[in-house]
Chains A and B, each alone.
Chain A
Amino acid sequence: MVRTENLTFQYTNEDTVFKFPDISLGDNQNLLVLGKSGIGKTTLLHLLAGLLSPMDGVIEIEDEPIHNLSSKQLDRFRGQHIGLIFQNNHAVQSLNVVENLETRLFFAQRKISNTMITDLLEDLDIAECKRKKTRELSEGQRQRLGIAMAIVHKPKVILADEPTSSLDDDNCNKVIQLLIAQAKANNANLIVITHDQRIKPLFTHKLEL
């Protein structure tokens, strides 16, 4: 469950005030947020992830009003309940694939299970890259590692920032299908932020900024 109300945000030393439309997502509902660059898509995503604090308004995730949490509580909440996917960088460079997933679980304060990690990597078809560092992976493998990193700790909300913009049509489709399937399997809300029109038909709930 994700709910926002009268959400506004302003960067320090900048005049523009971002006003965001209210969001209300029930269980298992996904949302596509569309908009041109500079309109505040990433800002909205970072607000939902608790990486930024709103100027005003309400953000509730699983009935937890995260706009009221302290920075340390936010770190903890983010670690446990939110999975983030980025456009290009998906994991820590100095660690290999398995170590990255272990790190993700460590910061989420979840038990580290090798079978669970192996199963997940097999699901995502990157089990053969277990011991590889991120720079040794192909673009497609990296994107799938990014998905693994966002779901390994069974979050309530998966937030994806332009997950498909650097992918070709074929891969773009695959990645989005995979994300939707994983969100469903984990009982999580998926919120995708993009200017990529190709994935529009795959979502029922859409928000245009």
Chain B
Amino acid sequence: MNIWKISIRNFRFKPLYTLLGILILSVSIALLVGIQQLDKSFKQQLDNNLGDIDMVVGAKGSPLQLVLASVLHVDNPTGNISFKEAKSLIKNPMIEKGVPISYGDNYKGYRIVGTTQDFPKLYNADLYEGRYVQKSMEVVLGSTVAEAIGLQVGDSFQSSHGLAETGGHDHDEPLTIVGIYKPTHKVMDRLIITGLETVWDAHHHADESVVDGHVTNSEREITSMLVSFRNPMALLTIPRSINENTNMQAALPKFELERLYQFTGVGVKTITWIAYAILIISCITIFISLYRMVRDRAFDLALMRSYGANRLQLVKMVAYEGFLIASMAFVIGVLLSQIGVYFILEMITDQYKQRMPLLLGPIELLQTAGLVALMVLSSICLAIYPILKMNISKILSYEK
């Protein structure tokens, strides 16, 4: 027999009561861990999607719209810009590279992006099978797209005009799938990548009267140019000079998204506060249950004092029980949060056609564990106080 064994017997003495305490605490831990994790996943996802893109150059309009359209691929583009003009911009030595993208079509709601070989490099994307685009009318699928539409390398399909799934008319010339990318957990997963020529040729055939067979470099247009800087100093000068001196606009995705996040982040913050409130409530619950336990067992504890147990031994006994409850609640809480977060991310994947990575940061976990430990410790200390002040003689004289 030792203190630990007595604690465990006490722990098991009223199982329903103990279980209830564990449950309440674990739910609040689950909420806390889950929210932190979702928040982190969401933020990381936004950062991830930026890849190496420091700046986007596109047609004048809303900078947020430009970023949403060209970087996150969720909004409509602001318009088109001249390929030639855009190319001249990136000759600046402070610019490392510029990747042109050109929109036009979709297949079953997945956007077809005409671009160069540099685009997948922005996201460190590798081929899962097949090869890269070599000529017009060839496409490589992002991993989510490949999974969703169920087509293989070698298959072809007809794209629909425009970015929306319905409403556009089908193009005549089919696109051939030559490759599939590995999952990047970034926005690229839900794109269909092709060469710039594919987009130009498709619209050339669709709108022959305008182009009339004389497509030259100077007439070619792109939706936007994704730019990465060589030198962070460029952030200060280049966007301003583009916005002031050309009929194009430059937007900084990091800045725009942070601005957006500041507004949408309010929700996350509120939920985090609610989780903290629940944590405090469950700590009060632990305190009350430990306090009641000490009260209920006052006679048993006094009896143990009469057996020769000293104060420290009784304090240990109650503290062990508290920590047993807290650590079980923590394990269950983390498990619950993982199940919850998994389902939420599944839902997000369904909705946004993009997979998010499951992130459980050890630092966040440690922080939560520390916080829970601190709260439990203080409630245990409060509950233990009556043991120290206990008048054994009095308790033993008033037998139940």
A-side residues, CB < 8 A to B, are: 42-43, 46, 49, 51-52, 71-72, 75-80, 84, 86-89, 91-95, 99, 102-109, 112, 149
Contact = CB atoms under 8 A, between A and B. Distances in A.
Contacts of B303: 89, 91-92
Contacts of B1: 99, 102-103, 105-106, 112
Q: Bin chain B's interface residue count.
A: 20 to 34
A75 B310 contact: yes
Contact of A93 (B13, B392, B396, B397): B13
Contacts of A77: 308
Nearest to B13: A94
A71 B312 CA distance: 12
A84 B299 CA distance: 14
B206 interface: no
Contacts of B307: 78-79, 103-104, 107-108, 149
Contacts of B393: 43, 46, 51-52
A78 to B, nearest CB: 5
Contacts of B397: 42, 46
Contact of A86 (B13, B305, B310, B396): B396
Interface string B130-147: 000000000000000000
A43 B394 CA distance: 9
Given A88-B400, A93-B13, A51 B300 contact: no
A98 to B, nearest CB: 9
A56 B397 CA distance: 22
Contacts of A42: 397
A170 B307 CA distance: 29
B310 A103 contact: no
A107 B308 contact: yes
Nearest to B302: A51
B300 A46 contact: no
B400 A46 contact: no
B187 to A, nearest CB: 58
Given A76-B310, A87-B399, A94-B10, 10 more contacts: A46-B397, A75-B310, A75-B311, A84-B306, A89-B303, A92-B300, A99-B1, A99-B5, A99-B9, A103-B307
A86 B303 CA distance: 10
Contacts of A104: 307
Contacts of A71: 310-311
B349 interface: no
Given A51-B393, A87-B399, A99-B1, A79 B308 contact: yes
A49 B392 CA distance: 11
B217 interface: no
A42 B1 CA distance: 30
B399 A89 contact: yes
B306 A94 contact: no
A contact patch SS: helix
A106 B300 contact: no
B309 interface: yes
Nearest to A103: B1
A72 B309 CA distance: 9
Considering residues B1, B5, B9, B313, which has the most beta carbons from chain A within 10 angstroms of its beta carbon?
Answer: B1
B308 A75 contact: yes
B306 A51 contact: yes
Contacts of B2: 106
B235 interface: no
A95 B1 CA distance: 11
B304 interface: yes
A101 B394 CA distance: 24
B399 A86 contact: yes
B400 A51 contact: no
B399 A88 contact: yes
B318 to A, nearest CB: 13
A89 B308 contact: no
Nearest to A72: B310
12 contacts: A42-B397, A46-B396, A79-B307, A84-B306, A89-B299, A91-B303, A93-B300, A103-B1, A105-B1, A107-B313, A109-B308, A112-B1
Contacts of B9: 94-95, 99
Contacts of B400: 88-89
B358 interface: no
A76 B308 contact: yes
Contacts of B374: none
Contact of B304 (A76, A87, A88, A92): A92
Q: Which 5 A-B pairs have the closest CB atoms?
A: A79-B308, A94-B13, A102-B1, A107-B308, A75-B310
A168 B1 CA distance: 35
B309 A79 contact: yes
A96 to B, nearest CB: 9
Interface string B365-400: 000000000000000000000000000110011011
